[in-house]
Chain A
């Protein structure tokens, strides 16, 4: 059954700006949402006296601000501060907050490198491949973050994915090959072969048998793609043209191109 959640506090005239993710927040609910969905990068440093003052002055939530200030000055744990903010509204249920605390417990056992990888993975999941690319590169360049060879391989694999979105096919192929060299995962090898096909690059350093099998898998994937919504939209537009409706065809193509362009710009922006 649905809920109508009554909001707390006011809407801020001056938003709270978070530089790391270029995000502006205008309400306590948005702050809760941000914390919940970015807990992997939230640390004690996120909770500053300036944030508490913003909660008090812009949102009018002086009680929450007072509690937070007390925790900051008392150097309480990040978990205490997260709970204080999340419990100041009804946006998240008690069980959701408890789940989040468990995630925070798990995170606290991760190495610095694992947390950074998680942060980069989050960018990729959010459809921001350019940001993810930068984070993965930073991670590889700092070598003292305690990643295993397999984890390094996974980072290289994700770098390859980020390159795919930004149009760098030869670079993507290189990253997938390097990834396979570290993590020995079929997924990375498969991705390498597929990208080589897409970029018309010779597939090297792979046995003939393996290559045949992977290419057969690729053909199967291509056939599956014909059933996807994206392809169906495109094909319907082409059909309109064949039926003597070029106007509708061009409109649809324009619309699809615009959608794809916007998506691309968002991913690399």
Chain B
């Protein structure tokens, strides 16, 4: 199974970006010939419906039509359901929201298959406005049902997709500061990229400011003069009545108007994982990002080095790495916490008290790290013995580290 997974990854060629909103999705792809990003779906309705008479499933626009004609039960607003709803009842049958979501996405991905019938998805990045822990878990489940496991799926925020979109473009387009006005779904946000290039890699962040639509003075004031490139997206900037505002906003700076920024940014984010040169190396820190590296010293490939158990910029609730170590005349494990912003390092020693006395290299331990919130991590170490040669004592050691 492991061999099949390894070989299959080589045969996959498509890097896909998906922007998921409450009631619609966008889908784009980097084609196999390394050309430009191609949009596959723009504002595809994210809905499923069951026909009342035939009890058949309908998707997308057909589902919406069923709803309009009152010919069945329509389910949309998936992001809200995934956050808040445990089950949905359709004609007496209970469904998990993630099951229905999976069906809807499967249909949407068929359009990709039509365009590229001989190619498979190598990586897919989903972009959401606010990826919470619960939402992320349920989405991951839904995609796993489609055969897209955690090794090929990334879920990120709109802020991160915006950053990837900007950083993945030609350098001259983003000298100076970059900003984004997002007028989607009746709201208005101003996003701004912050970059600290004093650190290596550079530390990036994206601020988000909520503005009131229609308040032009406030909008103009929010976009400071140091913004050298401004992106505008969302229906809030469509229509001839907005032309004047757009001209004012773009005066003295480069301006770009488009509806696919997050989707394309997600697509760049997908490809960048295998082609790091697509973007300058960055450490992206968001609200839920851990702001330190947590590592242990190991002997690997014939040299001493640090094995990172959790990396700065990872979302705290997604950290769950584990490693197996063999103890060679060691009875304690030093865990190093390296703070990326201050550069400070702290070492916490985990002493394996009560470890059974065995010959050197006859004790294997499993070390695992999880976060209970963005500032608290728990390091767990379990004695595994050494196969049949030395049975495990089943002892477990645990240490809580406050970051």
Residues of A whose CB lies within 8 Å of any CB of B are 1-7, 10-11, 23-27, 29-30, 33, 56-57, 60, 62, 90-91, 94
Question: Given A24-B387, A24-B388, A25-B387, A2 and B300 touching (CB < 8 A)?
Answer: no
Q: In the bound complex, how far is the Cα of B326 from the Cα of A27, in angstroms?
A: 12
Q: Which of A3, A6, A30 lies in contact with B387, CB distance below 8 A?
A: A30
The 9 residue pairs across chains A and B that have the minimum distance between CB atoms:
A2-B330, A7-B324, A60-B2, A2-B329, A3-B328, A6-B298, A5-B326, A6-B300, A30-B387
Instruction: Given A29-B364, A90-B300, check contact A23 B326 (CB 8 Å).
Output: no
Chain B residues with a Cβ closer than 8 Å to the other chain, count? 29
With a cutoff of 8 Å between Cβ atoms, the chain B residues found around residue A23 in the complex are: 388
**Contacts A4-B326, A6-B323 supplied; 20 other A-B pairs, CB < 8 Å:** A2-B327, A2-B328, A3-B328, A4-B298, A4-B327, A5-B299, A5-B326, A5-B328, A6-B324, A10-B2, A23-B388, A24-B388, A27-B387, A29-B386, A30-B387, A30-B388, A33-B389, A62-B6, A90-B302, A94-B302
* Min CB gap A6→B, angstroms: 4
Q: List 26 A-B contacts (CB under 8 A).
A: A1-B329, A2-B329, A2-B330, A3-B328, A3-B329, A4-B296, A4-B299, A4-B326, A5-B325, A5-B327, A5-B361, A6-B299, A6-B300, A6-B323, A6-B324, A7-B324, A7-B325, A29-B364, A30-B386, A30-B389, A33-B361, A33-B386, A56-B2, A60-B3, A62-B3, A90-B302
Report B319-347 CB contacts with A as 1/0, cut-off 8 Å: 00001111111110100000000000000
Q: Chain A residues near B304 (CB, 8 Å)?
A: 3
Chain A minimum-CB-distance residue to B360: A2
A63 to B, closest residue via Cβ? B6
Interface of B is mostly: strand
Question: Is B402's beta carbon under 8 Å from chain A?
Answer: no
Of all chain A residues, the one with the shortest Cβ separation from B362 is A33
User: Do the beta carbons of B3 and A57 come within 8 Å of each other?
Assistant: yes
Question: Closest residue to A12 on the B side, CB-wise?
Answer: B387
CB-based contact B3/A7 at 8 Å: no
Give the chain B neighbours of A56 by CB distance below 8 A.
2-3
Residues of A within 8 A of B329 (CB): 1-3
Which of B296, B299, B301, B326 counts the most chain A CB atoms within 10 A? B326
Q: Nearest chain-A residue to B300 (Cβ)?
A: A6
Enumerate chain B residues within 8 angstroms of A11, measured Cβ to Cβ: 324
Measured between alpha carbons, how far is A135 from B264 in the docked complex, in Å? 71
Asked if A4 and B361 make an inter-chain contact with CB atoms under 8 angstroms apart, the answer reads no
| Most chain A Cβ neighbours within 10 Å, of B2, B330, B333 | B2
Which residues of chain B have C-beta atoms less than 8 A from A62's C-beta? Answer: 2-3, 6
- CA of A56 to CA of B299, assembled, Å: 23
Closest to A10 in B: B2
Decide if B298 touches A57 in the complex (CB within 8 Å). no
| Chain A residue with the shortest CB-CB distance to B1 | A57
Nearest CB in chain B: distance from A253 CB, A: 25
